[in-house]
Amino acid sequence: MYPTMELRDILKTLSKYKNTIVITTIMGALVGLISYYLLPTKYTAVGSFYIKRATESTGIKTYFTYEGYYAQQGALSYTNTVVALLESLDIRNKALQKLNLAVNEESLRKYGKLINVRKMGPQLITLTTEGNIDTEAKTLWNALSDTLLETTAEVNKDGDPKLSISKVAEEPVVKTTYKALWLNTLIGAGTMFSLSIFWVSFREYFKTEN
């Protein structure tokens, strides 16, 4: 048998180990199936913020004004700043203090993995937090939200007070993270199938070399 085998040779080799491959794949599927029921349920809290800049009324009804254009551009630019703030260690640090949690390198890194910030539109930001229980996810979301609003309000006193951040809804939506039985089973089976093919190839290669 040559190191570079034709398709017929490969299939012939795999057929020699078909029982091992099938059994290994089935075991992988069972592991994936069991993991679906054993893995703990995670919860997420999801809520959005709308960023805007107030305009001064001129008393003239027009479809376009310089003030309106400037306000929109200011809001668009500020949206990027708010995203960066929500992802910053400063906001995370203040939020953990608000929750009376220890603030150190480990906790900042741990909670950083539980926070996801996405810019969903030009002036719309969505904040998602995770937790082992529903109240944990919701409490973390509220702490980050309150910290963000307090910090930006304080900063904007010396900046542009017309810029504002509003919650789209007062409370976040709390839900369980998505788990798919078929996906867990497929991943388990696929992983073990790939490993079994690798093992067969590795074994046959060294048999050929010897």
Do 12 and 98 belong to one domain?
Answer: no
Which 8-state DSSP code applies to residue 120?
A: E
| pLDDT tens track for 100-122 | 998 999 999 999 999 999 999 88
> Does residue 208 contact residue 1 with C-beta atoms inside 8 Å?
yes
Q: Is residue 185 part of a domain?
A: yes
Whether 122 and 79 share a structural domain = yes
pTM of the model: 0.66
The answer on 117 and 191 residing in a single domain is no
Residue 2 lies in a domain: no
Same domain membership, residue 89 and residue 186: no
Say which CATH number the domain at 75 has. Answer: 3.30.70.1130
- When pLDDT is averaged across residues 77-89 and rounded to a whole number, the result is 88
Instruction: Judge if 121 and 134 occupy the same domain.
Output: yes
- What per-residue confidence (pLDDT) applies to 53? 74
d(CA 57, CA 66): 12
Shared domain for 184 and 161, answered yes or no, is no
Q: Is 100 helix (H, G, I), strand (E, B) or coil?
A: coil
Range of the domain at 190: 7-39+180-209
How confident is the model over 120-130, as pLDDT tens digits?
988 899 999 99
- The per-residue DSSP string of 25-87 comes to HHHHHHHHHHHHHHSPP-EEEEEEEEEEE-----S---S--HHHHHHHHHHHHHHHHHHHHHT
Q: How many domains does the chain have?
A: 2
Is 123 in the same domain as 87?
A: yes
Mean pLDDT of the chain: 81
Average pLDDT (188-206) is 82
For residues 140 and 69, membership in a common domain is answered with yes
